[in-house]
Amino acid sequence: MNKPFNVIYEDNHLLIVNKRAGLLVQGDATKDKTLTDYCKSYIADKYKKPGEVFLHPVHRLDRPVSGMVVFARTSKGLERMNELFRKRQVYKVYWAVTKRRPSEENGKLVHWLSKNPDTNVVTAHEKEIDGTKKAELTYKRLGKLNDHWLLEIRPITGRSHQIRVQLSSMGCPIRGDVKYGFPKPNPDASIHLHAFQLVFVHPIKKEKLFLRAALPEDPFWEQFYEFEDVKVKDNYLDNTYSG
């Protein structure tokens, strides 16, 4: 995907896109153009909207991460989507590629995370200490190709850098993620972590949405394309989430 994003779902209240790795969702000190900027331009051009476009991200992905990002197009949509995320009623699946094999086929990770605001690095602790927040996720090995493992990650909480630091803490840093222990960066500064699937009940229409963001079009991800169709069909979210 060479474009900044592809649209996955769009209506009067929501815009959900597949983000290219390397894009900020919202602005920072770099002043680089953001995914929010690109999406506002898309809405303004498509609907011929004069003036400022109302469009707010409901959550974020780290800059080097690809995949699904939800935007609210109305204040009503923003308020209700924020409530769904707060109540953990948005069910998320990520895919990650690691060089090291997790010792267990599937498992649950629980840590307490602290963040250094000066370095923007998160540390995972085995026990709760002052200033930490609890982080939980489950993981499953999906398969192995060319000495790398594809993992499916289901975060229970939504902490900053959670998946990255928790996988690193069990000895399986994500490919390209030098901040959390992988030995070398990817050429494009991406990491092999992808927000693959979301399931939630539309906050206005009250219909259940099963949304998937296609894997990035790059030579390394391409070897895992064969897993997409199989895993989308039998993903546990499709079978167990009843709304």
User: What amino acid positions are annotated as catalytic residues?
Assistant: 62
End-to-end CA separation in angstroms for the chain: 32
Q: Which residues of 162-199 are buried (b: 16+ CB within 10 A; e: fewer)?
A: bbbbbbbbbebbbbbbebbbbeeebeeebbbbbbbbbb
**Distance, CA of 134 to CA of 125 (rounded, Å):** 9
Q: How do 208-212 and 193-201 pair as beta strands? A: antiparallel
**Distance, CA of 113 to CA of 118 (rounded, Å):** 16
* DSSP-derived 3-state class of residue 45: helix
Q: Which residues of 8-44 are buried (b: 16+ CB within 10 A; e: fewer)?
A: beeeebbbbbbbbbebbbeeeeeeeebbbbbbbebbe
Centre a 10 Å sphere on the Cβ of residue 210 and count the other Cβ atoms it contains: 14
Closest CA to 202 of 47, 44, 81, 112: 81
